[in-house]
Structure 1
Amino acid sequence: MSYRIPSSRLVRPITSLTSITIPIRLLPHHARRYATKNENILMERWLQNRGEMPNQKDLQQAAKENLQRGQLHQNSIFIDAERGYAADEGDIVDEEIRPMRNEYKASSPVALSAEDAAIQALTKDGERDVDLLRRRLDMDPETRFKAEYRRTVKMMRRGWTITREQHIKRSERQVRMKSPWLKTSTKKLGLIARQLQGKTVDEALLQLRFSKKRTAGEVARHLEHTRDMAVVKWGMGLGQVEGTAGEPMNIRVNNGTKLGRKKLITDRTEIFVESATVGRGPMQKEPEFRARGKTNILKHRWSCIIFVLKEEISRIRQHEDKMRLAAQKKPRIPLPDKPIPQQRQYVLW
């Protein structure tokens, strides 16, 4: 039994095959990502190799050749570079261009500062518009006045002194930075966070370098980024450079015990990890199909770590406060003297 094919199908040109759509499941894996419902990647490549279809590089080259360039204005500051002349005053410049450039420089406005530009933008016909200035620079003057009045009264009642918390924030520096989401759980990341608390940045990076945890590398990169931001943006850890390291000092650092552990501080501006906390992030659920129609739900958790970096001067202040409170405390008497309740202080047997 033979299969009959119409003659119109046999003489059909090959270019008409471009409309044939091959199912995506029949394409190789490297071609599936570029394939859509209305495209045939294999047929296009075959036609490009035969020369019947223009290539993308040829189209880009033709577009560059047909590109039309515009011309600069005669008073433009780039007119010298466009015509091939020198830009400096000491170089040889065409006699027709030099007067034109000098006239442009004389008529060009002088560069204004940011404050002068803001004031000039808020003026109208050379005079300041008071209403416009008030709306731009002071959005709600009544609320601002009330807030300043309350703060002034509060400072007067306190005797024009600042609180202890305000003094600490003014005299000590700290950096708090949150990491991006890490593909791990808070339970696993908390083990790393507890290992880094109380250590200097160098000691913490050394612990992360030899750690077997999978996310130790990402935590180390975030800690390095936090340290760099503390040095560059807030000027922390520059005691050796600026000469403010101070003299060596022995203190006791809190490690969960009553007395604490001893520590020798050679640089008061050395950066250490004050706290490392863990935050819970989003959770992705994925089904896991098992036998007999059962399905388990896999939970992929994300979390982050938050570092708070401070300088050693903060621990010195905490040590001095602890020593001062211990000195002010009264001595403990194990068996204090008690008053005699009766006439005889000894028992009569």
Structure 2
Amino acid sequence: MSVPAPVRRLASRCTFQAHLPVRTLQHQQRRTAVGDFFKRGKETKDETLDSDNPILDEYRRQNPEKPDQNAQEPQLAPPAPGDIAPSSIFEDERRIAAQRDRDGGDGDGSRAGLRPRNAATIARITQPDPNARERWERKKVIQMIKNGGRLSKAQFLKRTEREHLVKSHNMKTSVKKLGMIARQISGKTIDDAITQMRFSGKKVAQEVMLQLEQARDEAIVMRGMGLGKVGKSNDEAEELDLSIDPLDDTSTANSTNNLHAPKKIVIQLKDGKRHKIEDRSNIYIEQAWVGRGPYGKLPDYRARGRIFIMRTPWTSLTVILKEEATRIREHAEREAKRKKKITEQVWVPLPDRPLTTNRQWYSW
């Protein structure tokens, strides 16, 4: 039977076959319903007793109570932390807790004492070069023998006067803005500086006030500063144990023999201002300076989709706290130097006056 179609059309390629998608064959696992039906009747082999190693099987039969070595071992307890330093402010609380444990304060008594610190381990950090430290100590001993045991002025002041240095964290402000606050509080007592920062209109003043309060607390706890009136009666607290009376010229010469001074004393500072002192243990700010910290990044969105990166400054504040006894000593030294200059140079050929008509060329 012939097909009523042209031969040329039958011999041509089909047009719709070129657009058929190609489907790849995927391998699928063959699953049957029989499964392990024929394996159910067989006995399973005891792997613990019948293995390929007969010596191991014999050892397991003779020692059934011993656990397997391949079993997971129990985890060790974490190491106990080190003890605190004996000079810490929490030493009293630790001693009371240890005494309570020895007296049987805890019912179970399972609390163990803390392990003391290992000095050899700490020395790796505190003394990275022991030989250099030994050479330094040897040099200092030689210097002490040469000086006959006498202390230098700097060493004597370190032993007789208290001071405390505190550096704050980085504040989000510029060096110029924080520098004005540092110059404002420099030379003031710590209480006056805190009051100034409390009522100041500066944005960073509140953060500086918190830093000053923290510095005051650290100076009291760590250095024992500002405790001159603690443990004294009202009469003794009002009296100052000052060595000089700058208002009286005769007391300056006999500063070592004068043990009792007036209740209030007025001294002259370096800048010429008068300052009244009621307690020589009061804390004041000797120095205050600022330090530049790292710069931050802040986006500045502009027109037409542009973004600029601004550099935000960070600044820290450092203060040195001292007691009023330091001001009294400095005032006494200045007065002694002034009187020594007057007494040694009695006759002066020309009056010591400032030059008013000073020019860079000759006037004659």
With normalisation by structure 2, the TM-score equals 0.52
- Match of residue 193 from structure 2: 204
What amino acid sits opposite 1:252 in the alignment?
A: Q
Alignment of 1:3-82 (within 5 A): none
- Match of residue 229 from structure 1: 218
- 2:227 and 2:185 mapped to 1: Cα distance? 22
The 3 A distance-change label for structure 1 pair 305 and 118 is closer
Choose the corresponding residue for 1:335, options 325, 346, 350.
Answer: 350
What amino acid sits opposite 1:264 in the alignment?
A: K
What amino acid sits opposite 1:325 in the alignment?
A: K
The 3 A distance-change label for structure 1 pair 191 and 328 is same
- Match of residue 275 from structure 1: 287
- Match of residue 139 from structure 2: 150
When structure 1 is superposed on structure 2, of 325-334 and 269-278 the one drifting more is 325-334
Which of 1 and 2 has higher RCO (CA within 8 Å, sep 6+)? 2
The 3 A distance-change label for structure 1 pair 301 and 331 is farther
- Match of residue 269 from structure 2: 253
- Match of residue 21 from structure 2: none
The 3 A distance-change label for structure 1 pair 216 and 112 is closer
The 3 A distance-change label for structure 1 pair 145 and 182 is closer
Q: Are 1:194 and 2:183 matched, yes or no?
A: yes
- Match of residue 296 from structure 2: 284
How far did residue 226 of structure 1 move? 0.4
Provide the secondary structure at the position in 1 that maps to 2:173: coil
Provide the secondary structure at the position in 2 that maps to 1:211: coil
- Match of residue 329 from structure 2: 317
Q: Are 1:220 and 2:209 matched, yes or no?
A: yes
How far did residue 296 of structure 1 move? 4.0
With normalisation by structure 1, the TM-score equals 0.54
- 1:179 and 1:145 mapped to 2: Cα distance? 34
Provide the secondary structure at the position in 1 that maps to 2:290: strand
- Match of residue 17 from structure 2: none
- Match of residue 159 from structure 2: 170
Provide the secondary structure at the position in 2 that maps to 1:155: helix
How far did residue 291 of structure 1 move? 3.3
The one-character-per-residue Cα deviations of 1:100-151 (angstroms, maximum 9, x if unpaired) are x9xxx9xx9x97995xx979xx9xxxxxxxxx9x99x999775554333321
- 1:322 and 1:190 mapped to 2: Cα distance? 29
What amino acid sits opposite 1:206 in the alignment?
A: T
- 1:289 and 1:195 mapped to 2: Cα distance? 36
Matched-pair identity in %: 40
- 2:185 and 2:153 mapped to 1: Cα distance? 28
Q: Are 1:306 and 2:318 matched, yes or no?
A: yes
Provide the secondary structure at the position in 1 that maps to 2:317: strand
How far did residue 184 of structure 1 move? 0.6
Structure of larger gyration radius: 2
What amino acid sits opposite 1:253 in the alignment?
A: L
Provide the secondary structure at the position in 1 that maps to 2:230: helix
The one-character-per-residue Cα deviations of 1:232-278 (angstroms, maximum 9, x if unpaired) are 111100111144753432211123xxxx1111211010000111111
Choose the corresponding residue for 1:266, options 259, 267, 278.
Answer: 278
What amino acid sits opposite 2:154 in the alignment?
A: E
What amino acid sits opposite 1:218 in the alignment?
A: E
The 3 A distance-change label for structure 1 pair 288 and 323 is same
- 2:193 and 2:145 mapped to 1: Cα distance? 46
Choose the corresponding residue for 1:239, options 225, 228, 234.
Answer: 228
- Match of residue 246 from structure 2: none
The 3 A distance-change label for structure 1 pair 310 and 333 is same
Count of aligned pairs = 216
- 1:235 and 1:156 mapped to 2: Cα distance? 32
- Match of residue 340 from structure 1: none
RMSD value, Cα: 3.7
How far did residue 286 of structure 1 move? 2.8
- 2:135 and 2:313 mapped to 1: Cα distance? 47
- 1:112 and 1:181 mapped to 2: Cα distance? 37
How far did residue 220 of structure 1 move? 0.2
The one-character-per-residue Cα deviations of 1:3-60 (angstroms, maximum 9, x if unpaired) are xxxxxxxxxxxxxxxxxxxxxxxxxxxxxxxxxxxxxxxxxxxxxxxxxxxxxxxxxx
Q: Which has the higher helix share?
A: 1
How far did residue 326 of structure 1 move? 0.8
What amino acid sits opposite 2:190 in the alignment?
A: V
- 1:275 and 1:147 mapped to 2: Cα distance? 31
The 3 A distance-change label for structure 1 pair 287 and 162 is same
Provide the secondary structure at the position in 1 that maps to 2:280: coil
What amino acid sits opposite 2:293 in the alignment?
A: G
- 1:185 and 1:332 mapped to 2: Cα distance? 53
What amino acid sits opposite 1:280 in the alignment?
A: R
